[in-house]
Amino acid sequence: MDDTSAATGREAGIGPRTRLECKICWSVYDPAVGDEVWQIPPGTPFTDLPPHWTCPNCSAQKQSFLLLDD
Ligand SMILES: [Zn+2]
């Protein structure tokens, strides 16, 4: 065990193309699309979103997003 993997464990399953769904309003963040509300360019992984990014629909924080399996 190392501390690094523990700290980043939640993001370990998030790849550059992984989509995530807001558990509040079910909005989906798709890296292929980006987020025009936040002016996030297409191709931006969820893990590269700015720390202050929130759901463009309901303002839920990133922690409220759940992995979507392809
Ligand atoms: Zn939402």
Query: pLDDT of 2-13, one tens digit each?
Result: 454 444 555 678
Residue type, 17: R
pLDDT tens, residue by residue, 19-32: 999 999 999 999 99
In the numeric block, which tokens belong to residue 27? Answer: 């909005």
Sketch the domain layout of the chain as residue ranges: 3-67
Tokens of residue 54, six digits? 């929130």
43/39 Cα distance (integer angstroms): 12
38 CA to centre of ligand 1 in angstroms? 14
Ligand 1 centre from 70 Cα, in Å? 20
Q: 3-67, what's its fold? A: Rubrerythrin, domain 2 (2.20.28)
* Residue 29 · residue 46 · CB < 8 Å: yes
> Which pTM does this prediction carry?
0.81
